[in-house]
Chain A
Amino acid sequence: MLKKILHVDDDDDIRAVTRLALELVGGFTVFQCASGQEAIEQAESFAPDLILLDVMMPGLDGVQTFHRLKEVEALASLPIVFATAKVHAESVQQLHAIGAAGVIAKPFDPIELSNKLNLIWEQSRFEIS
């Protein structure tokens, strides 16, 4: 079962809303980072089941962070889901093409978010097995 989620987003408000949504609606344990760099440093010790990653961030952006996370052996097979305001079919396809487990469009409904992440997580497990 999906239990631990690492959420990476530079926006304080979105982190607050997402934390409430994932904890209260989904009952997940949530760990949050405000930058890609922080996520790379802390992801391994937190050992999440899934990572929810913002695309547009200052410093390391979502895609760069994604590649760096995938380089870490312990995290390589972990499903990473992007949250993005760039919902152009082209941009979404690009994210899928680099190996994203899923793409969540912003603005998202926090009540449905947990369900969506659960679905993506199950799908990725099915794909791996």
Chain B
Amino acid sequence: MNKSGKTKFNLGSFLRRSSVPIMFIIICAFCIPLSGLSPSYLINEIVTRMGRNAFLILSLLIPIMAGMGLNFGMTLGAMAGEIGLILASDWQIIGIPGMILAMILSIPISILLGLFCGKILNMAKGREMITSYIMAFFINGVYLFVVLYMMGSVIPIKHNNIKLPRGYGIRNTVSLLSMRQKLDNLIPLTINGVKIPVATFIVIAVLCLFIMWFRRTKLGQDMRAVGQDMEVARDAGINVERTRIISIIMSTILAGIGMIIYLQNMGNIATYSSHSQIGMFCIAALLVGGASVDKASIGNVFLGVILFHLMFIVAPKAGAAITGDSMIGEYFRVFVSYAVITIALIMYETSKRKQKKMGGEALRQAQLEEEKK
């Protein structure tokens, strides 16, 4: 810090912190010309994908703020969103009202799942990410039980185009044709051939404003305090466990709403697989945007969506151009997605150990000085 109180710019630390986005910028700069895709096509795709994914990724910010790391349990919210959409589709509530109803239906399910997840994560402090990751698999089993066996037999499902021919269980794919891109096309705007989903962006902007406002509230400050140091926060009179549970519940609810926005853009639900990879890819996108396990901002979300999805779009074509096989590009993007999560986790663990070591070192120095006196 200098005299005016501003932090001095340190190129080394900036490069270290931004290594992942820089790496992705280099990959994209290399792949874009090879892919042969036109700029207008790329911009169109990026804008569409930003509208589709940004809300989901934003749902990850609150648990990071509360020091719970990357919430792999956002899949739970995605499942709740899917259940809401299945029910709204069966009740033939279409368009924007159908989406709103699905969101309302998903909220209590998300609250219950978030509460459960939060309680479990409180029992596994310091191991939140792996616990939430495994929890997503566990709840997926419950989801399968509900959707595959209870819907149609216990939970009434009227329409045969949703039900499996055996009379119970939901089909592999549920059409959302009656809701398809209704939010995206609510306020139509096309600039130079680029279709802009204005209404979706407004919803995303509202969420961004909410997050910015929330950070300044008492609860938001509590979450930040808990995220920085749980013991200090507890000493300051903050109910740490409750704060952590609330952060997970909020994230789960937002993930459910985000999943509904995501699926309305896609136009159908892959009932048994839509949610399965969503957590992984949202987390990868956030990390690509320069976020870390303990620090993430709204800017990271948007940068991440742009870079990660740009790589998603160009990698198969670039792979095909280089090797003659587009599958290489497919594998490359999958490899990169997992790799970026791994790198982020390693970096987090390394910096944590480094800090611990530095803390220990400082303590040793202090003790030595004490002895000298």
Partners in one complex: no
Q: Footprint of A on B, CB under 8 Å?
A: none
